[in-house]
Amino acid sequence: MRRTTITQRWIVNSVGVTFIMLVSLVIAASLFIRNYYYNAARQYMISRMNMVSNMLQTAYNDSGAGFSGEIRSVLERWSEKEKMELMVVNSDGEIELTSSGFIPTVDMLIGDYAGAVESGVSGFANDRISTGEHIMAVCLLTPENTAGYKAIRAVSSLDAIDTQINSIIVTFILISFAILSLMFFSGSYFIKSIVIPVSQISNTAKRYAVGDFSVRIKKKNDDEIGQLCDTINHMAQELAISEGMKNDFISSVSHELRTPLTAIKGWAETIESMPDDTDTIGKGMRVINGETERLSQMVEELLDFSRIQNGKFTLNKANMDILAELGEAVLIYTERAKRDGIEFIYDEPDMLPFIFGDRNRIRQVFINVIDNAIKYSDRNGRVSVQAFMPDIAHIEIDISDTGCGISEQDLPKIKTKFYKANHTRRGSGIGLAVADEIITMHSGRLEIFSEKGVGTTVSIILPV
């Protein structure tokens, strides 16, 4: 299929339409000017001929016998010989007398005489004679039996008028050409200011399509095209960051999967080589069970993230005791915190209202956040869990640690998928993204407050 460019569409839609309008305007103006000049010339000739006719009619009424002399006198005294020529036509239809005194050698009866004879009064003609000259003629019939004269007529050349009309038309054409030229050159500059950046954007987008996010579009003007360049450059930057986080995520997940698999494989080989050592078998089985559970949680986390991305993540909501789920999550990590040398404090309230939610998903959020708090805390650190009601409509669970904390520039991105602020600690980088989505689906908020080197507090706020 043949591609139509912006320039081609602009030429057809703008220049083409303007050209047609200007041509139509020039044609209409030419016809108007031509008719105006010709009508003015005709009215002038008719008025002069009426004056001559009145003079002759008066002379005829006074003395019919002196009519011939009066005609000759009018021809001799004719004052507008430079504009038009008076002629007398005899009864045979031939030019007999003229105001110039010269009988024309060419046939100058172009239809006005025939028109006058046919109408019995007057006739008018606008045509070219055999020499090519453009003339206009007005003919009036004389009274009957007047010395053999049939009609008197005025003839004027239109060549000067035609020259004037043509000059005006040429001026209109030149003005139209100037308008088209100005429109074309200014439009071409404007089109280039769009086409060239769009072409650059297209080429850059092709680079982005194959994964090359290093190139940037140069912004030339602070207009809509410039804003588009800024937007695409920002998009490329975000895509590059997202691509980097995705690669880090794949690397982290690979490492997270490899570590428990290595432990499981190692202990399985140890148990196989020492089938009679019950202590070793028991210890190995505990490690294998623990690492298997860890793998299962990771896989489930990845599946949850995939469901969120595909819009298939669902909740099974019911009235639930949030303290029961929080207490179970705390119990899971109490031994681990003790083993890692971390002080674990849980300030459990006497009672909190029920909430309407998915107990398994809420417990998953608590486990994820507490796991992060312990994971990012060092030995002799402290993790505290507190649940309370900041107002009558909400329940708030604060999980705080004295770990490494999060930098100010990383904090706004910490809930972004694949993002990891600290690459020295284990984790896939999607746990908080999943937790935030779960809390949001419960009409709640997950807020993070942190200071580098001081610690982090995660606040989970849910409606009662």
* Superfamily designation of domain 316-463: Histidine kinase-like ATPase, C-terminal domain (3.30.565.10)
What pLDDT sits at residue 1? 43
CA distance 424 to 422: 6
Which architecture characterizes domain 224-308 according to CATH? Orthogonal Bundle (1.10)
Kindly state the tokens that stand for 42.
């005709």
Kindly state the tokens that stand for 332.
């899971």
| Tens-binned pLDDT, residue by residue, of the chain (464 aa) | 455 566 677 777 777 788 888 889 999 999 999 999 999 999 998 888 888 888 777 766 765 556 677 788 888 888 888 888 888 888 888 888 888 888 887 677 788 888 888 888 888 888 888 788 888 999 888 876 566 788 888 899 888 899 999 999 999 999 988 988 888 887 777 777 777 777 787 888 888 787 777 788 777 777 777 788 888 888 888 788 777 767 766 766 666 677 778 878 888 888 888 877 788 888 888 888 877 877 777 777 777 777 776 777 788 889 999 999 999 888 888 888 888 899 999 988 888 899 999 898 898 889 889 988 888 888 888 999 999 999 999 999 999 998 888 888 878 777 766 556 554 555 555 778 888 888 988 999 999 998 888 889 999 999 98
CATH 3.30.450.20 residue spans of the chain: 6-165
Q: Phi/psi at 447 (nearest 5 deg)?
A: -115, 145
* Superfamily designation of domain 6-165: PAS domain (3.30.450.20)
What pLDDT sits at residue 31? 92
What pLDDT sits at residue 68? 74
CATH 3.30.565.10 residue spans of the chain: 316-463
CATH 1.10.287.130 residue spans of the chain: 224-308
- Contacts by 67-71, CB closer than 8 A, 24 or more apart: 67/142, 67/143, 67/146, 67/147, 67/149, 68/146, 68/147, 68/149, 71/97, 71/147, 71/149, 71/152
Instruction: Provide the angle, in degrees to the nearest 10, between the axes of the packed helices 224-273 and 159-209.
Output: 20
